[in-house]
Structure 1
Amino acid sequence: MSTRAVDSRLRDWAYLSGVAEAPCAPLSAFVAEVGPEQAARALRERTLPPALDGPTQSRRHRDTVRADLDLLAVLGGRLVTPDDEEWPSWRWLAFSTATATGVRDAVAPLALWVLGTAPVEELTRRAVAMVGTRAASGYGEHVTAELTHDLVAEGWTIVSGAAYGIDGAAHRAALAAGGRTVAVLACGVDRAYPAGHAPLLREIAREGLVLSEYPPGTTPAKHRFLARNRLVAGLADGVVVVEAGWRSGARNTATWARHLGRPVLAVPGPVTALSSAGCHRMIRTGEAVLATSAAEVIEEAGRIGELAGPRQGELDLRPTDGLDRVSAQVLEAFPARGAVNERQLAQQSGLPLAQVRGALPLLEMAGLAEWTEQGWNRAR
């Protein structure tokens, strides 16, 4: 294919990505059926299927493709399409399954407007989405940083939505740990939203990726945040909700994760904290698995065989934890210092002499008792 033909096809993808409000299932189906060139031509020439007349009516006459692509080039970005090797095709397969089960708007993006040099498919090959409330507490930000740091140390990419609160904490922690992170926007990549995260978004673009399915110039809106959430879930192997209120956008991302067959995990918080009420609700109703460590996240989201390590407290095992009742009772009969004989242990423990004699070799093998010329001693 000639360079001119490639450029023309890229312009068609750019046109299609903005001709209807995403996600648009009829448009996605039409493009899949006839290809981007024929689909773009049909829309421009008004020879489109009836199902697309309404969704494209207000935009099909507008063609800002050249200006959009020029602006993207100035920003150092690129338009990634299904024609590109870095297109994460396998990530989007779950949308077809969700559509087959009747989930509305379960369609993959037509294209991705991207800032950053890393290939999209490579960066999201092993990824976890970290989401939560914008009004994050100190506890929530601390837990987010801890989980993110440990996940990055294991080679995971962190995906989030660049919002204030938990999203921002996850992005910052990933960057601070020398890891990779992806910010999915509900507006054009030429817009820093929220404005206070403009420096953060620039750093993410340098070290990871900032991407959107919306062309440059698109402004943020509530319905676009909800649509964006499906991509946050779709680009990850699992979704972790750190803090979420009773009615939270993070729970919408968790819902999309379940639609797409991704595991959902929720971090518990204080029972009195309204900022964790949504997490507690999801755990109680079985919508999410409780998560307290990165190891538990990896056990749910990782490949088969990646199991969680010991939970907090499980490492504090005592040498006596595996003892049977008789052996434990004999061990308690030992004096703190000095040697004793078997009869003294039987008298002190209240056990028959035969049981004491049977327990002493077990205590010796466990490193809890030792025999000397003076008698039996508690091991140091």
Structure 2
Amino acid sequence: MTMQQEIDDPRLLAWAYLSKVVQGPCAPLTELIEKVGPQEAARAVRERDLSEYLGERTVARAHVDSAVEDLRALSEMGGRLVTPDDDEWPRWRMLAFDGLGHSRADGPPLALWVVGSRSLGELTERSISVVGTRAASGYGEHVTAEIAGDLALDGWTIVSGAAFGIDGAAHRAALGVGGLTIAVLACGVDRAYPAGHARLLRQISQNGLVVSEYPPGTTPAKHRFLARNRLVAALSDGVVVVEAGWRSGARNTATWGRRMSRPVMAVPGPVTSASSAGCNRMIREGEARLVARAVDVVEEAGPIGLADTEDDTVARDTDSLDGNALLVHEALPTRGFRSVPEVSVESGVPIAIVRSMLAQLELDGFAVPCQDGWMRSR
């Protein structure tokens, strides 16, 4: 759908308008949309043809209709508005909200503003949330990089909140191995928050997705961070907490994970570290399972039988490679390309053998030929 088609689509305009009006979860409005559709619900909001509660919930912004401007701004960023009636909507993930009740903060997102070319539904089919303190220690960042990197390398999407500290380390670890990651924001996707992560968010949008339930222009606020945490938990198979205080946003995400029946895991830390106090206490009080490696996470959150608990590493398809095939494969970049002579220099394998190995790697699905060279297959 082109930008002009999106702006002219009455259904999408109605969703964008309603998202702006409530700016967050609103279970009664969601129920109304399910009954009458987004366009009729938008009319009811504009004309104040609503129940008393829903009228109070929407009255402050009912007159604000910036749907055209919001959709245009989103499209110019390479984004789109994903709604519950789209094929891309992660329906089975959103089922987690069904048993939470109908309070203001418990409902599913009305719609999701998304930047990035990947499918939200596909990226969340096999995903893990990795969260933690902003004031991360070297230990915490190291463990996060090991766990998130290994999970991403094995095909898991890493979901986090793009904050400083553990969140940022998790996103960077996934990107560093050519993996996929989703950043869930507590503001509009047009705002880089924190500002120091503007470049990281651009990289995430190019290799994964930046997601928010808030329309462009929405500023960060404390209640939006707390609401954001429920989405981080909902969009994954489990929640891993690496370094967190007892009262922290990361622990709030873990609480949401338990309410949604997601496995909650925590990495233990030094007993002298305030950054690990929350994780250690969650483990001690049975609120989280202890994990130290990616294989522990897969054992807790992955399908039964996926993890081999006797192995020290997460099983990968490339484990079948050895000798010259492994050397050539490791010499291939995950982004860009290398020519055959460059692969030969990098791997130390003669050019003639490199050509033979590349052909075999292509047949086995490990390498992809480009116009000017070769790269690793995802």
Whether TM exceeds 0.5 here: the answer is yes
The structure-2 alpha-carbon separation of the partners of 1:106 and 1:210, relative to structure 1 and needing over 3 Å to count, comes to: same
Q: Structure 2 CA distance, aligned partners of 1:293 and 1:104?
A: 37
1:281 maps to what in 2?
Answer: 281
The CA deviation at 1:143 is: 0.1
Unaligned runs of 5+ in 2: 313-378
1:83 offset after TM fit, Å? 1.8
Aligned to 1:95: 97
Cα gap change, 1:4 to 1:14, in 2 (>3 Å): closer
Whole-angstrom CA distance in 2 between matches of 1:166 and 1:205: 19
Distance of 1:246 and 1:269 partners within structure 2:
13
Higher gyration radius (CA): 1
| 1:176 matches 2:173 | no
Residue 115 (1) aligns with residue 130 (2): no
3-state SS of paired residue (2:155)? coil
Query: Is the 1:267–1:279 Cα contact (8 Å) retained in structure 2?
Result: yes
Q: What amino acid is the match of 2:123? A: L
CA shift in 2, pair 1:238/1:274, >3 Å: same
* SS in structure 2 of the partner of residue 114 of structure 1: strand
Structure-2 residue corresponding to 1:76: 78
Q: CA deviation at 1:91?
A: 0.4
**Given that residues 244 and 251 in structure 1 are in contact (C-alpha distance below 8 angstroms), is that contact kept between their aligned partners in structure 2?**
yes
Instruction: Specify the alignment match of 1:159 in structure 2.
Output: 159
Runs in 1 of length 4+ with deviation above 4 angstroms? 3-6
**For 1:48-59, what aligned pairs fall within 5 Å after superposition?**
48-59=50-61
Kept in 2: contact 1:233–1:253 (CA 8 A): yes
Shift of 1:31: 1.5
RMSD: 1.7
- In the TM superposition, residue 20 of structure 1 has moved relative to its aligned partner by 1.3
Spell out, residue by residue over 1:70-106, the C-alpha distance to the aligned partner (whole angstroms, 9 max, x if none).
111111111111121111011000100222xx77622
Question: Is residue 117 of structure 2 the alignment partner of residue 130 of structure 1?
Answer: no
How is 1:215-234 mapped onto 2 (pairs within 5 angstroms)?
215-234=215-234
> In the alignment, which of 13, 16, 39 is matched to residue 14 of structure 1?
16
Task: State the partner residue of 1:378.
Answer: none
Question: Take 1:276 and 1:46, find their aligned partners in 2: how far apart are those partners?
Answer: 50
- Per-residue CA deviations over 1:146-175 (Å, capped at 9, x if unaligned) read 001111121100000000000000000100
Where do 1:171-250 residues align within 5 Å? 171-250=171-250
CA distance change for structure 1 residues 311 and 140 in 2, over 3 Å: closer, same or farther?
A: farther
Structure 2 counterparts to residues 355-366 of structure 1, below 5 A: none
Partners of 1:77 and 1:113 within 8 A in 2: yes
- Separation in 2, partners of 1:263, 1:6: 43
Q: Secondary structure at the match of 1:11?
A: helix
Structure 1 residue aligned with 2:27, among 5, 25, 28? 25
Give the TM-score normalised by the residue count of structure 2: 0.79
**Which range moves more in the overlay, 29-38 or 180-189?**
29-38
Residue pair 1:117, 1:209 contacting (<8 A) in 2 also:
yes
Residue 141 of structure 2: aligned partner: 141
The alpha-carbon distance between structure 1 residues 103 and 304, as it changes in their structure 2 partners (threshold 3 A), is farther
Question: CA–CA distance in 1 between the matches of 2:202 and 2:53?
Answer: 39
Partner letter of residue 69 of structure 1? Answer: L
Match of 2:237, SS? coil
Looking at structure 1, the residues matched to 6 and 287 of structure 2 have their Cα atoms a distance apart, in angstroms, of 50
Corresponding residue for residue 36 of structure 1: 38
Which amino acid in structure 2 is aligned with residue 43 of structure 1?
Answer: V
* Number of matched pairs: 309
Moved more, 75-84 or 135-144: 75-84
| 1:354 equivalent in structure 2 | none
Whole-Å separation in 2 of the counterparts to 1:192 and 1:137: 24
CA distance in 2, matches of 1:46, 1:271: 56
In 1, Cα distance between equivalents of 2:7 and 2:176? 43
- How many angstroms apart in 2 are the aligned matches of 1:135 and 1:196? 15
Paired with 1:6 and 1:81, the residues of 2 have a C-alpha distance of 16
Distance 1:4 1:288 in 2: 44
1-structure distance, mates of 2:256, 2:45: 30
Q: More displaced, 134-143 or 29-38?
A: 29-38
Normalising to structure 1: TM-score of the pair?
0.79
Partner of 2:267: 267
Amino acid at match of 1:184: V
Q: Could you tell me which amino acid in structure 2 is paired with residue 236 of structure 1?
A: S
Structure 1 residues without counterparts, runs of 5 or longer: 313-380
